[in-house]
Structure 1
Amino acid sequence: MPQTTASDRVHRLVASPAGRTHLVEQGTGPLVLLVHGFPESWYSWRRQLPALAAAGYRAVAVDVRGYGRSSRPAEVDAYRMLELVADNVAVVEALGERSAVIVGHDWGATIAATSALLRPDVFSAVGLLSVPYTPPGGPRPSEVFAAMGGPEEFYVSYFQEPGRAEAEIEPDVRGWLAGFYAALSADTMPPPGAPDPHFVGAGGTLRDRFPAGRLPAWLGEDELDVYAAEFERTGLTGALNRYRTMDRDWADLADVHGAPVTQPSLFVGGGLDASTTWLADAIEAYPTTLPGLTASHLLDGCGHWIQQERPELVNTLLTEWLAEVAPRR
């Protein structure tokens, strides 16, 4: 395999329905579009870009609208899932390609799955990291989240009111990010029985339950600086607006409620990640919801930030899967 380094990365801005989408590209070959989650950026794929490039792929990590150097529209409705799918299609077209494999983590997994669901003509295969596929539909999301936690408030509900979470985060963006990353990482998450950091106590904040004083092993001080610098510059409103459109998505996607994603697919989750334990039923439903699933993996002892916590293993799983679904030309 050819050796690649960070110096081989190319930063580009391309036109998209958002206005502009910033992307980082490395390698040549079949296109693999990498979509990050909350609160991250293209940088969360820094360890995958060189590995995919070395394996013979054109790896492209985007800043989702609202993040990094991509446009940040002011209207909450601008962060609807339909808009994010349109951005992904525009990136593929701007790169001169007709199709791509799409891989997403966290919110990016849901964005990737919906992109594959709505535009199978563009997205030939889909990889999902950390968040299982659940078909659109079911009860209205705001009602589901409001019913969770009893007297405590689920974080998704906490994020709904514009400005509320921002007021918690803005005074110390770097410290808040460090705590959020630590709360969901295998080596720093609260022990069993401790107050759950996904919930907010009465009159409290999310940060009240974050671990303090230690970064997870995957996150160096310099890497945290990169994340913090971006969010200190942009704020987190664009990122949080993704959560604020979930009921609108539910209505927008009414025509595909319950629909499976039929393209070849991959799932990789963390064994200690609440996303996989809470959504275990969704994983069990894959024969129906992901009939094209070619591989599913739960990584023992791994938390939520899967491609950063276990980069070598995730890279191996991705490249082996890509060799099956998108062989190099």
Structure 2
Amino acid sequence: MPHDWIMTPSPLVHRTVPGPAGRIHLVEQGAGPLVLLLHGFPESWYSWRHQLPALAAAGYRAAAVDVRGYGRSSRPADVAAYRMTELVEDCVAAVHGLGERTAVVVGHDWGAGIAANSALLRPDVVTAVAMLSVPYAPRGGPRPSEMFAGMAGGAEEFYVSRFQEPGRAEAEIEPDVRGWLAGFYAAFSADTMPGPDAPDPHFAARDGQLRDRFPAGPLPGWLTEADLDVYAGEFERTGMAGALARYRNMDRDWEDLADLDGAPITQPSLFLGGGRDASTMWLAAAIEAYPKTLPGLVGSHILEDCGHWIQQERPDEVNRQLLDWLDGLSRPAGSPDLP
């Protein structure tokens, strides 16, 4: 369908649907084929505020989920309740709770991992998958806790290792949620990230804090004070434990998903990454392996001079790529591109 976006989208609708852990909160807009949107850390459904109206105006039913542990969705107390297999079932429950049998799933950051594993574990529900910022890499290799511990040495510690220890990151973040989030977003945005000669904010001194390396200065260009208020307000209400629990299940996931070792995703797929995003750069080998790991890949695009928060930093480009890909899914092979 053409992308003139002349349709007037319907209003945003907040809904809760039942899920395995209780409730799943989501925000939907539009009517048509269902596109489920999954955010990453530390975000919420609001991360898709630029995509919801664009998808709706183009004739899709877009639904942005608060992932388990975030926002208005349920927050189980048990850390093991945030393992990947549980989050995949939440994805399925969201689709069914919206009265649909199948959906295209789009994920950013941790949401990309949930989308990928949903495609692997529930191909009956996920018909196509798009991954933003974090490339698909099949399950394999060493135990994650050991791998991430080996990424730093001496007096430094990688942020993922720090997040895996219950209570430790909460003690840093929760006394000043708004300030910490502002620094974290800025540290990984193209227009505010530290220069190449500055200490890497993915790491912290073992006796220090991550925020010690966050840039001081204005907010990133994509983030207004009002936007920051939305994010901070959610985490000030819920705390950080639910969001951080995802990092505390990486070894469980490695064990749970052993049968998927090396498994390719065969559904039609799309990858969008930021040229200045460490997730894209560190996983360059995973992108090079896409002919084997994503045999249904339709497109892989790196947005130059873009950081980690890709759909918020560069919403127009991301929307264009998503809509071209989505529209192509409904066209017969070999048919001409639409204007």
- Into which bin does the TM-score normalised by the smaller protein fall? over 0.9
CA deviation profile, 1:236-279 (whole Å, cap 9, x unmatched): 10000000000000000011111000100000000000000000
Give the one of 7, 11, 30 matched to 1:8: 11
Matching residue of 1:92 = 95
Distance in 1 (alpha carbons) for counterparts of 2:33 and 2:6: 16
Q: Which ranges in structure 2 are unaligned for 5 or more consecutive residues? A: 332-339
What aligned pairs does 1:1-329 form with structure 2 within 5 A after superposition?
A: 1-4=5-8, 8-151=11-154, 152-326=156-330
Distance in 2 (alpha carbons) for counterparts of 1:179 and 1:326: 41
CA deviation profile, 1:149-193 (whole Å, cap 9, x unmatched): 222111000011111000000110000000000000000000012
Matching residue of 2:335 = none
Task: Return the letter of the residue paired with 1:93.
Answer: H
Q: Which ranges in structure 1 are unaligned for 5 or more consecutive residues? A: none
Name the TM-score, length of structure 1 as normaliser. 0.98
The 10-residue stretch of structure 1 (148-157 or 218-227) with the greater mean CA deviation from structure 2: 148-157
CA deviation profile, 1:282-318 (whole Å, cap 9, x unmatched): 0000001001000000001000000000000000000
Task: Return the letter of the residue paired with 1:280.
Answer: A
- Give the C-alpha shift of residue 326 in structure 1: 4.1
The SS at the match of 1:162 is coil
Judge conservation of contact 2:29–2:52 (CA < 8 Å) in 1.
yes
The 10-residue stretch of structure 1 (263-272 or 145-154) with the greater mean CA deviation from structure 2: 145-154
Identity %: 75
CA deviation profile, 1:35-85 (whole Å, cap 9, x unmatched): 000000000000000000011100000000000000000000000000000
Distance in 1 (alpha carbons) for counterparts of 2:221 and 2:175: 25
- Give the C-alpha shift of residue 4 in structure 1: 3.9
Task: Return the letter of the residue paired with 1:245.
Answer: N
Distance in 1 (alpha carbons) for counterparts of 2:44 and 2:67: 7
Task: Return the letter of the residue paired with 1:254.
Answer: A
The SS at the match of 1:258 is coil
Please tell me the root mean square deviation across aligned C-alpha atoms, in Å.
1.1
Name the TM-score, length of structure 2 as normaliser. 0.95
The SS at the match of 1:120 is coil
Distance in 1 (alpha carbons) for counterparts of 2:56 and 2:116: 23
- Give the C-alpha shift of residue 202 in structure 1: 2.6
Distance in 2 (alpha carbons) for counterparts of 1:170 and 1:186: 26
The SS at the match of 1:8 is coil
Moved over 3 A (4+): 1-5
Judge conservation of contact 1:101–1:326 (CA < 8 Å) in 2.
no
Distance in 1 (alpha carbons) for counterparts of 2:175 and 2:27: 30
Distance in 2 (alpha carbons) for counterparts of 1:228 and 1:250: 31
Distance in 1 (alpha carbons) for counterparts of 2:308 and 2:61: 26
Judge conservation of contact 1:270–1:299 (CA < 8 Å) in 2.
yes
Task: Return the letter of the residue paired with 2:63.
Answer: V
- Give the C-alpha shift of residue 213 in structure 1: 2.4
